[in-house]
Chain A
């Protein structure tokens, strides 16, 4: 009941935020570029009648409020406009490429959580011992490394030098075919029962995932460590120690539950950071994802894709915050909304 009310309240709060998101993307897409038509046609020798025709077709001769209304109405119908280069609806093109990005981001997310929480707890438990110092230095360094540069170093080392990794070009070798069902290669290869392809997908995923998640692993480890240190110093843990409970019980059953509260907010934030990082990494590894597509389209003067991608990412991110809030409330019954 309490959770139900919480979710409802949060959902209602999402509405003004999403309206704001739409206003911002509208401003970015329609107001900042002086004349979208000129961008579209190239500056020179534009036929005046044709320009007027296009302006009319795009609704650009309408007042700005009408344009905004049409923009929002179209988006709520799932219409993000056309992609000029492929002449497909933007949403269709995006749907083809989104699974590649999501696969990269979701696997990175799992890697982050699976690595950072044990590392952070370990460092906190062994505070000021050798292992703690190594973890701290590593996380300091990890936060400062530019992900795309790290990706290039990985390519140099594992592909060029050791020859372990597959070439940094895409999600799968061109000899292997995976019948697309969900678009997620990991799932599709399993559905087809093709274990060899499944392994190959992992091989192609390994380096990009490492490059995307490095920074976040470092950040999260630091956060888990400092929040665990605080919890382990608190009274109830001292009491548990005095009562002679087992160490693992103290650290993991009693400590972790409270120690994870601050990091959960961070995990809600993680999607946004990872997908932002993934856009750059996709370019490094020629990953056929939505981020690379959005950026290359924008560079070619086609803003529909990046607008759609950004709106969708913002929506997903707001949902992530919602999930984090709910998790928070589930774990910590003291929280009242």
Chain B
């Protein structure tokens, strides 16, 4: 899985790439550069495009959704409690009379924020960890990798729950938990990339002209090993939302009445046995759509970066 290296330095080792590359991407209006090529490959993958489109829609809903609703997302209104979906309440109201659609709109903001911050944090921390571990090697590498082994020995949900329980429930802590649980994956990815890259000629060249270690690590090695990190991030976004929602559902994440998809499901859970399906159904549907589109997009990206994979 040394995708990043292939993407940049690919051509000599991978004739298949160069063969399908030139005219077609130009015909599709690509610039012929690596970005145009990327877009060309990506556009061929319809499922990924569907996933990307859906993700955009969800982001859009979070951004401009409040324009379509006049209800307050956190203010109970007992007069209109537990109403089925209707014209006034598109997705019904929950047991406290709060409009489900409104809450979903605001929940989208929360969940997107969590997902982006968590994945960004994990990718950055993991990449730094991986670079340092691989670059210095020897004892440091050994110790850092055994630490990751231990961290990954825990079932990730349980580790997350334990940390969340210790830190206490809050938005910031949900993000911290997700970063801690996810970063080992990125660290391993980047480490394996760097291990093969650091013997390359361009590193020797960089050293010869007088770059110091830090510069070689962060300006030369790291940028060349980020391909798989991008793929992993898009696959990871969906999982992070799933995990954040599970934590909130258990009461260890975002707290009611704050709108968040997992919180909303937990609020609607009791109504489910009484046949009021809507208050838990719709937030879950959004989690499902979000995770599905993120994984379609991620699969598509993976095909782009590593076309041999099926």
Contacts and interface: CB of A to CB of B under 8 A. Distances in A.
A276 B156 contact: yes
Given A32-B167, A140-B295, A280-B250, A153 B281 contact: yes
A16 to B, nearest CB: 5
B95 interface: no
A140 to B, nearest CB: 7
Interface string B74-93: 00000000000000000000
Contact of A276 (B150, B155, B166, B310): B155
Nearest to B147: A20
Q: Chain A interface residue count: which class?
A: 35 or more
A145 B288 contact: yes
A103 interface: no
Interface in B157-180: 157-159, 161-163, 165-167
A279 interface: yes
A277 interface: yes
Contacts of B242: 146
Contacts of A309: 158
B275 interface: yes
A140 B273 contact: no
A149 B287 contact: yes
A17 B153 contact: yes
A18 B150 CA distance: 7
A313 B155 contact: yes
B165 A298 contact: yes
A71 interface: no
Nearest to B296: A140
Q: Is the interface of B mostly helix, strand, loop or mixed?
A: helix
A321 to B, nearest CB: 8
B230 interface: no
A24 B151 contact: yes
A191 interface: no
Interface stretch (A45-53, A72-80, A154-162, A196-204): A154-162
Given A28-B166, A295-B252, A317-B154, A156 B292 contact: no
5 contacts: A20-B146, A29-B166, A148-B246, A167-B273, A272-B156
Interface of B: 146-147, 149-151, 153-159, 161-163, 165-167, 238, 242, 245-246, 249-252, 262, 265, 268-269, 272-275, 277, 280-281, 284, 287-289, 291-292, 295-296, 309-310
Given A140-B296, A143-B295, A148-B249, 13 more contacts: A20-B150, A21-B150, A32-B163, A140-B295, A145-B291, A146-B262, A153-B284, A155-B272, A156-B277, A160-B275, A271-B155, A313-B158, A317-B154
Interface of A: 16-21, 23-25, 28-29, 32-33, 140-141, 143-146, 148-149, 152-153, 155-156, 159-161, 167-168, 226, 229-230, 271-273, 275-277, 279-280, 283-284, 294-295, 298-299, 303, 306-307, 309-310, 313-314, 317-318
